[in-house]
Amino acid sequence: MGFIRSCSGLLAELSWTPQNGKSFWGTFAAPTLPIWLISNGGPGGGYKNIPGGDMMGKTLNPYTDAPHTGITRRYDFNISRGVIAPDGYEKQVLLVNDQFPGPLIEADWGDYIEVKVTNSIDNGPPEGTSIHWHGFLQTGSPWMDGVPGVSQCPIAPGKSFTYKFRAELYGSSWYHSHYSAQYTGGLHGPMVVYGPRNVGYDVDLGPVMVSDWWHNDYFKVVEEIMAPGFTGRTYSDNNLINGKMNFDCSTVASGDQTPCTNNAGLSKFNFQPGKTHRLRLMNTGAEGTQRISIDEHNMTVIAYDFVAIDPYDTQVVTLGVGQRADVLVNAHAKPGSAFWLRSNLTTCSSANEPSALAAIYYEGADKNSVPTSTPWDIPDPGTCANDDLALTKPYYPMALPPPSFTQHMDINYFTNSTGHLLWEFGGVTARVDYNDPTLLRAHDAGSGFQPDLNVIDYGTNTSIRIIVNNPTPSAHPMHAHGLNMYILAAGSGNYSETNSTLNVINPMRRDVQMVSANGYIVVQMDTADNPGIWPFHCHVSWHASAGFFSQMLFQPDELAKKMLEVPHEVQQTCREWAEFTNGVVPDQIDSGLR
């Protein structure tokens, strides 16, 4: 952070376009968000209040009571390559509508979301793609989950695919590519679903996306981790907030002639004195766990992932990859003040530059001044663990059903006979077939799947309990598709009934939960209401690439019946992908998934 001591102001050396393309995130042009939308997408007016009713989160079941709005929010995405310099170091990235981070998708609770995705990655080299809508349940539409080799074939270069799904939950999330590790190269953006509030506030500042950042192209990093002799750690070069950060160009490797600009520019936010602001924190990175704070300001956490919680105050929020936190911050300082928003990669993450900064300016402040605020003195525990489960109670309480099946899924890693370091989950190193998605083979589930697909058939079980032991030196953000997990326990060592007490009274629910190095988690999943084949995997991109991935088959008989509803476009996408791969062989050196 030497640039703070050496500069007298925060005037960016790079203009908007060379740093982030057409993206306005992290600038004063970024809009504040409404409380809800009207039918044409504008704020207010279309409803008398928030669909479902404001302050009704304690009454309305977030999983079953979404209103039928009859509205579809439509978006058009073009995915292409581009060259930008988010921290001043120029590199080739993947962009959504020429933007990094990508544009906001927003909807009201109960709306449908429709996104036409066109793959224009047709050079340098051509690649397939797909988009996963993180945290969305996809009830009745498992083929819209956006996971190549599982729910669909990749979208071939020059082709389009239209996703349509319902906003069944409300809160903050994000979308990202699920093809190889593409999203670490820029292919991601925020999503917001407006619904009942559990606490009032004045201003919604929208998404605050934090992400570790590699200067190498994402595929070069994949080649590094999949090469013989890889030791297990690849180090990020920087840490970004809303796609921006500075970088000391004097530290580039000898002989590196890549254009690099010092003081490229930081993200900036505006606070209104005396007002309460909502910030939607999101870890959209590849590997690192982030500790987020605002100097001299407390944060009130009101939601994690898509789950509203009983509010509690904190000075630091810890987020693993894929996790989100909605926080409220009271702007208690004087007009003209300035403070740092900090996001630091934890010591258990692999980072050459762990610290990221953004500036918060109160009205009346010099918007290029350097804040002189004091950070909180809260040492990093170095565990990558989420906050104690005793602090996080869902605002809408739910009774935990008795499990009909309990399973152990241990994590491990090994070096195979060719010298490649691979990850195992439940004893299997997974790899998918882009040309033959698992879901589209659901009709032959009874005959079994190849072992390396790591498909676990849970049959007619209605609620499964999974014990994940992690006797490895790495922490892992465990992400389940198609549902929210009940988080019953988290701790150090291997789980046993003697060293852990399960929280079965209104346990926390999340779609991503951290399991610490040499630790464990116990989760439970309701499997009766959403037949499908749902990934359960580590959200560290490089771990998923190296095989840390499983597929959960729920209610196979019911799923087989639903396959008659698969849209024609899903099969057409597979035909287009097959035609593309007849002439071009994709360089799938990893599991195929991030």
Q: What is the pLDDT of residue 43?
A: 46
Strand locations in 150-241, DSSP E? 160-166, 171-177, 188-194, 203-213, 238-241
**Average pLDDT along the chain:** 94
Q: What is the pLDDT of residue 590?
A: 62
Confidence band for 443, pLDDT divided at 50, 70 and 90: confident
pLDDT tens-digit series, residues 202-256: 999 999 999 999 999 999 999 999 999 998 899 999 999 999 999 999 999 999 9
Q: Is 518 helix (H, G, I), strand (E, B) or coil?
A: coil
Q: What is the pLDDT of residue 556?
A: 95
Tell me what percent of the residues of the chain surpass a pLDDT of 90.
89
Q: What b/e string do you get for 500-510 counting C-beta neighbours within 10 Å, with b at 16 or more?
A: beebeebbbbb
Q: Is 163 helix (H, G, I), strand (E, B) or coil?
A: strand
Q: What is the pLDDT of residue 11?
A: 92
Q: What is the DSSP string of 395-461?
A: SS--PPPPPSEEEE--EEEEE-TTS-EEEEETTB-----TTS-SGGGGGGGGG---GGG-EEE-TT-
The Cα 398–Cα 242 span in angstroms is: 34
Residue 279 has pLDDT above 50, yes or no: yes
Among 254, 318, 320, CA closest to 291: 318
In terms of Cβ atoms closer than 10 Å to its own Cβ (0-12, 13-18, 19+), residue 29 is exposed
For residues 4-23, average pLDDT: 82
The Cα 459–Cα 451 span in angstroms is: 17
Among 87, 16, 6, CA closest to 370: 6
The Cα 106–Cα 243 span in angstroms is: 19
Q: What is the pLDDT of residue 255?
A: 92
pLDDT tens-digit series, residues 67-126: 999 999 999 999 999 999 999 999 999 999 999 999 999 999 999 999 999 999 998 899
pLDDT tens-digit series, residues 394-420: 999 999 999 999 999 999 999 999 999
Among 74, 75, 78, CA closest to 160: 78
Confidence band for 592, pLDDT divided at 50, 70 and 90: low
Among 467, 463, 504, CA closest to 484: 463
Q: List, in order, residues 6 or more apart from 448 with CB less than 8 Å away.
A: none
Confidence band for 1, pLDDT divided at 50, 70 and 90: low
Taking the model in full, what pTM does it have? Answer: 0.96
Residue 505 has pLDDT above 70, yes or no: yes
How is residue 565 written in tokens? 């509803």
Query: Is the separation of the CB atoms in 189 and 102 below 8 Å?
Result: yes
The Cα 56–Cα 485 span in angstroms is: 23
Cα torsion through 355, 132, 95, 283, rounded to 10: -10
pLDDT tens-digit series, residues 160-205: 999 999 999 999 999 999 999 999 999 999 999 999 999 999 999 9
